[in-house]
Amino acid sequence: MLTVSHLSKHFHDQPVLRDISLRLAEGEVLAVLGRSGCGKTTLLKILAGLETPDTGTLTLHGQDLLPVPPNERQMVYLYQEPLLFPHLTVFENVAFGLRIRKVKEAEIKRQVTELLAELELSEHAQKAPHQLSGGQRQRVSFGRALIIRPRLLLLDEPFGNLDAQTRAAMQELFGCVSRQHGITSIFVTHDSREALTVGSRLGYLERGVLTSFATVAEFIQDPRTNIAAELSFWENIQRTANLSVAE
């Protein structure tokens, strides 16, 4: 479905992305793990059409995406912050994509009401964004993207600003909604646990080079993901705790 071939990008002679290639099938969620400044945001922005690559090709269902402007790609880019429209209610924020497509009022009402119920936001429909919690705002942002049935959802550390509990709840919600709607997405994160929770496929981006993993085991074993080291750390803690109990 989505094919990225030999994508490269420089900013002021500084390479940000180097020869990135990937393929993503319909309904897959590619979780890309990477530290700050590794090129994650640039990759997503190029896919969304907000940046242009220096070299490489992008195709979606065989269609060359490079000449297609962002507003015609049907690929929604979600920022780390929800960035809701401050002058619109929750209902109108979610309805935005339908209104600009001049969908009939009755249809807008039906679709938005259904989606708000699915995202457990029905009781907040008439609230302003500033009246919502961080998790609720992120759900509205998610709903605003989902309503236009994007061909590809690009998520740039969307739950990075949430507390651990809300973050876990949002990851679960994302997984449920993704499966239910068959959403294809690229989910960028710096949290290996989040990558493992949401991703059906896994990748690691470092200094502009993307490594794709065929299996979860490969991802865990790669020392750059730090998962093996973390597992060993917790095992040591557990062992020490057991020993002190035994003594």
Q: Contact positions toward another protein, by CB under 8 A?
A: 48-50, 69-79, 83, 85-87, 96-97, 99-101, 144-145, 148, 154
Cα-based distances in Å from 51 to 8, 67, 152: 12, 12, 16
Based on CB atoms, which residue is closest to another protein, 129 or 203?
129
Give the integer Cα–Cα distance in Å for 174 and 17. Answer: 27
Nearer to another protein, 77 or 204 (CB): 77
**Spatial contact of 140 and 90, defined as CB atoms under 8 Å apart:** yes
- Rounded Cα–Cα distance for residues 20 and 9 (Å): 10
Minimal distance, residue 210 CB to another protein, in Å: 21
* Residue 31 C-beta: closest distance to another protein, Å: 20
- Label residue 166 exposed, middle or buried (CB < 10 Å: 0-12, 13-18, 19+): middle
Closest CA to 181 of 160, 152, 157, 154: 152
- In angstroms, give the least distance from the CB of 82 to another protein: 10
Q: 186: how many CB neighbours lie within 10 A of its CB?
A: 27
The residue among 86 and 223 lying less far from another protein, judged by its C-beta, is 86
Query: Nearest-CA neighbor of 188 among 173, 217, 210?
Result: 210
Nearer to another protein, 89 or 225 (CB): 89
Task: Quote the least distance from Cβ 37 to another protein, whole Å.
Answer: 19
Do 174 and 181 form a contact (C-beta atoms < 8 A)? no
Q: How far is the CB of 50 from another protein (least distance, A)?
A: 5
Minimum CB separation from another protein for residue 179, in Å? Answer: 23
| Nearer to another protein (CB atom), residue 78 or residue 202 | 78
